[in-house]
Amino acid sequence: MKKVIAIDGPAGAGKSTVAQLVAAQLKYVYIDTGAMYRAVAWKILQETTAENVTNEFITASINDIDVRLSYIEEKTKVEVNGQDITDQLKIPAVNKLVSQVASIGQVREKLVDLQRKMAKDGAVVMDGRDIASNVLPNADLKIFLTASVEERAQRRFKEMKNKGYAVALNELKTDIAARDRADMQRKISPLVQTKDAVLLDTTAMNIDEVVQKILSMAKN
Ligand code: CDP
Ligand code: CDP
């Protein structure tokens, strides 16, 4: 049976890494909804400076922002108005703006609509913040993936270092904590663990252990 698997959780919990590996094992499509919010934030930053971004500006711009997400040969590609921006989605300026962009109803409506269309035939693993609670409430398996904020900041730190970026661990920790707060406290579709979701605290788990655990649940 072609299942729908929803993975939600805070920043750096391992959602995209684990979701991609689970999707590859099951030969499912992986849908990175965070990348879609990041793409909107990236485009907004092309139109104006970070200091000048207001909710009104974002709302007025959203109709002209065309986000396309594709997943081909186990690789996610994100295009905005025809431009491939996949490699630019994790830059600090986007990290800082994305939660504000994601708190706006018109942005969410547009992206959620696209996300549901992409999942309509099943055989998908989708990760984000509101997948179980809002985007795909009938998902066959719902996972709430988390880890301590220290561990999540460490993971991001290692990842950035490996990619050659010099970032301060403390700055990453502050950024992650601020984004968690904004995502959990916003009015529209906040990050929550739904009652029917399985909680997986991965603080002391490696990637393979998490993947195996989810695969065993998906097979039942
Ligand atoms: O990878 P990381 O956990 O840092 O973030 P992400 O999954 O790329 O998501 C970036 C931001 O997009 C989050 O901090 C949320 O503000 C927003 N987001 C959301 O509101 N709803 C989703 N389904 C996915 C992401
Ligand atoms: O998508 P999300 O923000 O939840 O996290 P991610 O980008 O998948 O993972 C953040 C970093 O943590 C990546 O570099 C992963 O390789 C690493 N990771 C880990 O070390 N142990 C885990 N159990 C899960 C992820």
Domains in the chain, number: 1
The predicted pLDDT at position 191 comes to 96
The predicted pLDDT at position 166 comes to 83
Q: Is residue 74 part of a domain?
A: yes
Residue to mutate (ligand 2; options 7, 15, 17; most atoms within 8 A of CB): 17
Strand order in the sheet with 67-72: 67-72, 75-80, 83-84
Q: Is residue 219 part of a domain?
A: no
* CA 19 to each of CA 22, 49, 54, 133, 142: distance values in angstroms, whole numbers, following the listed order: 5, 33, 33, 18, 12
Q: Is residue 119 part of a domain?
A: yes
- Looking at residue 42, the DSSP 8-state letter turns out to be H
Parent domain of 140: 4-211
* Residue 11 known to bind ligand: yes
* Residue 9 known to bind ligand: yes
Mean pLDDT of 91-110: 94
**Inter-residue contact 18 to 214 (CB < 8 Å):** yes
Residues 6+ apart with CB under 8 A from 158: none
Residue 76 pairs in a beta bridge with 71
Measured distance CA(173)–CA(156) in Å, rounded = 9
Share of the chain above pLDDT 90, in %: 89
CB hemisphere CA count around 86 (13 angstroms): 10
Here the ipTM equals 0.98
Q: Is residue 104 part of a domain?
A: yes
CATH number, domain with residue 144? 3.40.50.300
pLDDT at 92 over 90: no
Q: In the predicted model, what is the mean pLDDT of the chain? A: 95
Q: Is residue 128 part of a domain?
A: yes
Measured distance CA(111)–CA(37) in Å, rounded = 8
* CA 181 to each of CA 178, 185, 187: distance values in angstroms, whole numbers, following the listed order: 5, 6, 12
pLDDT tens for residues 165-220? 888 999 999 999 999 999 999 999 999 999 999 999 999 999 999 999 999 999 87
Q: Is residue 173 part of a domain?
A: yes
Question: How far does residue 8's CA lie from ligand 1's centre (Å)?
Answer: 9
Residue to mutate (ligand 1; options 110, 129, 171, 189; most atoms within 8 A of CB): 129
Q: Is residue 218 part of a domain?
A: no
Q: Cβ(15) to ligand 2 under 6 A? A: yes
Measured distance CA(15)–CA(8) in Å, rounded = 7
Q: Closest Cα partner for 19 from 103, 131, 182, 94?
A: 131
Global pTM exceeds 0.95: yes
The predicted pLDDT at position 199 comes to 98
Share of the chain above pLDDT 70, in %: 100
Question: How far does residue 35's CA lie from ligand 2's centre (Å)?
Answer: 15
Nearest residue by C-alpha to atom 3 in ligand 2: 12
Q: Closest Cα partner for 196 from 126, 143, 119?
A: 143
Q: Is residue 196 part of a domain?
A: yes
